[in-house]
């Protein structure tokens, strides 16, 4: 233990003695650790954001998609691999039938397009236009000021629009947007409300967006057909499983599927969505770990170099220590501790930088980046391990030195 | 031939080195015995083998052929770690070039052998401080070597050699890097230690330094040339 402290002390002293050399050596380690920290914090942040959104939807809400593919897949053009060819688009009729089921509390259809929006001489391109069911506001976002559209307005395909805060401020600045008219794709719509979007992970909350009745969307807004989704919320008194079974049965009967045929639609629960999400972030994480280990490797090679120089420079010291009774193991240990201290300092610097970047990201972007505890431990562990692994060879050389030769070394 | 109090006994000590294709015979069969509380100077011209003998006695090197008994224990043929332990416990080194760690304080330099002996920090500090007091450096404990004069550095080295209470204090040209006044001062320290009962073995090529010892062994061509004991002054 005393030797451990002594080793750390010696290491810090020799770091101070050759600052530039040490700084260059630990740069690689610092960068490697920094990358691990930043990526770790971002993934944690993204995951928290995803969970926030799901929490807002309510844990029981599930989705009906035209198809669902988890992770990343490559199409070979066959029908099996091209579900958009096999699966017909979802229809409003299907949504209406699902809504009538006794186990279903609410169905919200959602379809989108990017269109230009005009007000007076102001014009914005590629604004996200969402056509949604009348009850959409119950599942996403608060409307303040104003209101959402009514069932009546929905049924009448009324040209009314709820804009998000971003679009309101870009179009009207500080003016009250309620009652103003905007042109979406050249068609005039009346602004009836402003909604505050849920905290969004990819900064979509910062993009202008407008929500209109889906009926009006189908009627007035040119869009790529076939990409409607349903958000389905079961009744309180039923299980999600029972609701899913009912929805499946209705969909199958409407699509006249025979018992042997597979579903040509996809029902996806939040758990499943979260799973596939985690699969993607897990891949991302692995790639980043691989990249940062390159940094650590580069740092490790630097450690070998600086430790070889250190051993050569201190050959005489090694001889003296041996003369005074240091065993091989103790010399080995001393240099390993020195190497590990070197990389641990690099790791600590990398963690400070990484933590700083995460802090900036968390405050300057909507991404709630947070440095997870495990990445602090992992980063420090990795950097110390790098030091030990790459310090082993120089340290073994030091330990093997012959005391007589070492004492004679000039 | 064995007398009571024999500390070092070597017989038939031979040491050969390979230098490329040639074999250098550094020692060609040395027999000698050194007793407790002796003050011995080993002399000889360069190449006579005195450094090699010194390294073997100091357990830094091992002999090719022969026997070496230190304090009643056969040393020839033990492993590296055991040699390190013997160096730590039985031998105190004093080098010509002091060989202090430049970045460490005097106190820390003296503590080093105790660290390798596994002594706890508290006791270590006390023993090191006492050793420095013994060589008259009580007021220089927190100084680094570059803040000390040559004589003071050698005193630190002597304190480091003494701190483990070794059987032998082995000094290799201890005054070789010092001016004559400082040399006399350092030799005074050795005299004092010898009077306190410390066994001292010193390698030197200076006659006046050797003259302070009670016994002078002269080596020539890897063999003992002469071995004379002087009457106490």
**CA A294/CA A276 separation, integer angstroms:** 28
Q: Taking 70 as the threshold, does the pLDDT of residue A218 lie above it?
A: yes
Judge whether B109 is closer than 8 Å to chain A, CB to CB.
Answer: no
In a domain, B85, yes or no: yes
Percent of chain B exceeding pLDDT 70 equals 97
Give the distance from residue A396's alpha carbon to the nearest chain B alpha carbon, in angstroms. Answer: 15
* Residue A241 predicted with pLDDT over 60: yes
Q: How far is A409 from chain B (nearest CA, A)?
A: 11
Position B11 in a domain: no
Taking an 8 Å cut-off on Cβ atoms, the answer to whether A323 and B112 are in contact is: no
* Alpha carbon distance, N-terminus to C-terminus of chain A: 32
Residue among A17, A324, A407 minimizing CB distance to B88: A324
**Is B95 near chain A, with CB under 8 Å?**
yes
Nearest CB to A316; choose among B58, B99, B160? B99
Contact B87 A3 (CB under 8 A): no
DSSP state, residue B64: S
pLDDT in tens, B30-68: 999 999 999 999 999 888 999 899 999 999 998 899 999
Is B183 inside a domain boundary? yes
Nearest CA in chain A to B120: A2
Closest CB to B87: pick one of A6, A17, A325: A325
Q: Is residue A245 part of a domain?
A: no
Same domain, A392 and A312: yes
Hey, are the CB atoms on B112 and A328 less than 8 Å from each other?
Answer: no
Does residue B23 sit within a domain? no
Q: What backbone torsions phi and psi does residue A87 show, to the nearest 5 degrees?
A: -95, 125
A401 is in which domain, residue-wise?
2-52+275-408
Flag if A324 and B112 touch (Cβ within 8 Å): yes
Give dist(CA A165, CA A196) in Å, integer.
6
Instruction: Look at residue A15 and tell me if it is in a domain.
Output: yes
> Is A99 among the domain residues?
no
> What is the token pair recorded at A343?
């990389």
Q: Tell me: the pLDDT tens digits for B199-230?
A: 999 999 888 888 889 899 999 999 999 999 88
Share of chain A above pLDDT 70, in %: 89
Within a domain: residue A223? yes
pLDDT value for B1: 39
Domain for residue B223, yes or no? yes
Alpha helical stretches, state H, A365-409: 373-400, 403-408
Nearest to A6 among B85, B113, B115 (CB): B115
Domain count, chain B: 1
Residues A205, A116 share a domain? yes
CB A205 within 8 A of CB A151: no
Domain of B58 in residue numbering reads as 37-62+79-229
Inter-chain residue contact B113 with A325, CB threshold 8 Å = yes
Does residue B27 form part of some domain? Answer: no
pLDDT confidence of residue A77: 58
Spell out which chain A residues touch chain B, with contact meaning CB-CB distance below 8 angstroms: 2-3, 6, 10, 13-14, 17, 316-317, 319-330, 403-404, 407
Res A142 pLDDT > 80: no
- Is A311 within 8 Å of A381 (Cβ atoms)? no
**Overall domain count for chain A:** 2
Q: Is B103 on the interface with A (CB under 8 A)?
A: yes
Residue A295 placed within a domain: yes
Among A190, A215, A237, residue at a domain's last position = A237
Instruction: Identify how many contiguous H helices and E strands chain B contains and give both numbers.
Output: 7, 10
Chain A contact for B80, CB < 8 A?
yes
Give the span between the Cα atoms of A24 and A306, in whole angstroms: 10
**Mean pLDDT, to the nearest integer, of A9-19?**
73
Same domain, A233 and A279: no
Minimal-distance CA residue of chain B relative to A6: B115
A76, exposed or middle or buried, with CB in 10 Å at 0-12, 13-18, 19+? exposed
Q: Specify the pTM.
A: 0.69
Residues A215 and A118 in one domain: yes
Please indicate, yes or no, if residue B102 is contained in any of the structural domains: yes
Phi and psi (nearest 5°) for B73?
Answer: -115, 135
CATH number at residue B99: 3.40.50.300
Residue B50 lies in a domain: yes
A316 interaction partners in chain B (CB closer than 8 Å): 99
Claim to verify: residue A290 and residue A341 sit in the same structural domain: yes
For residue B4, what pLDDT is reported? 58
CB atoms within 10 A of CB B230: 12
pLDDT at A272: 79
Q: Are residues A33 and A111 both part of a single domain?
A: no
Q: Tell me whether residue B19 is exposed, middle or buried, using C-beta atoms within 10 angstroms of its C-beta: 0 to 12, 13 to 18, 19 or more.
A: exposed
- Give the whole-number percent of chain A exceeding pLDDT 90: 14
Asked if A161 and A218 sit in the same domain, the reply is yes
Are A322 and A378 in a shared domain?
yes
Q: Looking at chain A, which residue has its C-alpha nearest residue B108?
A: A6
Domain boundary among A183, A208, A237: A237
Domain assignment present for A291: yes
- pLDDT band for position B100 (cuts 50, 70, 90): very high
């Amino acid at each position: 233990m005393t030797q451990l402290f002594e080793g750390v002390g010696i290491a810090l002293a020799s770091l101070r003695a050759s600052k530039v050399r040490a700084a260059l050596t630990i740069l690689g380690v610092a960068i490697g650790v920094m990358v691990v920290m930043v990526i770790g914090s971002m993934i944690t942040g993204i995951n928290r954001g995803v969970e926030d959104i799901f929490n807002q939807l309510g844990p029981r809400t599930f989705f009906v998609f035209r198809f669902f593919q988890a992770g990343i897949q490559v199409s070979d053009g066959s029908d099996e691999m091209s579900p958009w060819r096999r699966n017909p688009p979802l229809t409003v009729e299907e949504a209406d039938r699902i809504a009538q089921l006794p186990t279903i509390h609410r169905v919200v259809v959602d379809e989108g397009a990017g269109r230009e929006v005009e007000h007076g001489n102001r014009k914005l391109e590629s604004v996200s236009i969402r056509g949604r069911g009348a009850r959409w506001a119950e599942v996403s976002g608060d409307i303040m000021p104003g209101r959402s559209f009514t069932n009546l307005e929905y049924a009448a395909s009324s040209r009314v629009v709820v804009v998000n805060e971003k679009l309101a401020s870009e179009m009207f600045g500080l003016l009250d947007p309620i009652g103003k008219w905007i042109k979406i794709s050249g068609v005039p719509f009346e602004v009836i409300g402003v909604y505050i979007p849920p905290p969004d992970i990819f900064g979509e909350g910062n993009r202008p967006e407008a929500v209109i009745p889906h009926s009006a969307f189908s009627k007035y807004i040119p869009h790529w057909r076939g990409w409607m989704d349903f958000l389905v919320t079961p009744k309180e008194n039923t299980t999600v499983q029972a609701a899913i079974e009912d929805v499946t049965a209705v969909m199958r009967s409407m699509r006249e599927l025979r018992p042997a045929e597979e579903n040509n639609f996809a029902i996806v629960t939040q758990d499943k969505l979260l799973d596939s999400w985690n699969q993607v972030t897990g891949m991302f994480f692995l790639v980043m770990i691989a990249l940062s280990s390159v940094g650590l490797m580069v740092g490790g090679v630097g450690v070998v170099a600086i430790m070889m120089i250190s051993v050569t420079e201190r050959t005489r010291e090694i001889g003296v220590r041996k003369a005074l009774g240091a065993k091989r193991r103790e010399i080995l240990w001393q240099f390993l501790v020195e190497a590990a201290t070197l990389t641990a300092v690099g790791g600590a610097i990398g963690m400070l930088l990484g933590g700083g970047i995460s802090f900036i990201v968390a405050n300057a972007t909507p991404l709630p980046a947070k440095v997870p505890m495990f990445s602090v431990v992992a980063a420090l562990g990795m950097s110390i391990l790098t030091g030990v692994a790459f310090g082993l060879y120089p340290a073994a050389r030091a330990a093997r030195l012959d005391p007589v030769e070492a004492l004679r070394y000039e | 031939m064995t007398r009571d109090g024999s500390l070092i006994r070597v017989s038939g000590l031979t040491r050969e080195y390979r230098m490329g294709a040639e074999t250098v015979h550094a020692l060609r069969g040395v027999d000698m015995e050194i007793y407790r509380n002796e003050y011995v100077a080993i002399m000889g011209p360069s190449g006579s083998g005195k450094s090699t003998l010194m390294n073997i006695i100091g357990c830094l090197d091992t002999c090719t052929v022969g026997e070496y008994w230190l304090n009643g224990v056969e040393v020839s043929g033990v492993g590296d770690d055991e040699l390190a332990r013997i160096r730590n416990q039985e031998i105190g080194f004093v080098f010509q070039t002091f060989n202090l760690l430049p970045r460490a304080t005097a106190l820390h330099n003296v503590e080093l052998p105790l660290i390798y002996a596994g002594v706890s920090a508290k006791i270590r500090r006390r023993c090191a401080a006492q050793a420095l007091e013994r060589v008259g450096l009580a007021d220089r404990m927190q100084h680094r070597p570059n803040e000390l004069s040559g004589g003071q550095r050698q005193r630190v080295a002597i304190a480091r050699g003494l701190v483990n209470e070794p059987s032998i204090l082995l000094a290799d040209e201890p005054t070789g890097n010092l001016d004559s006044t400082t040399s006399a001062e350092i030799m005074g320290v050795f005299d004092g230690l010898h009077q306190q009962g410390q066994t001292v073995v010193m390698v030197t090529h200076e006659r006046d330094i050797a003259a302070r010892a009670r016994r002078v062994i002269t080596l020539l061509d890897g063999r003992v040339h002469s071995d004379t004991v002087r009457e106490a002054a």
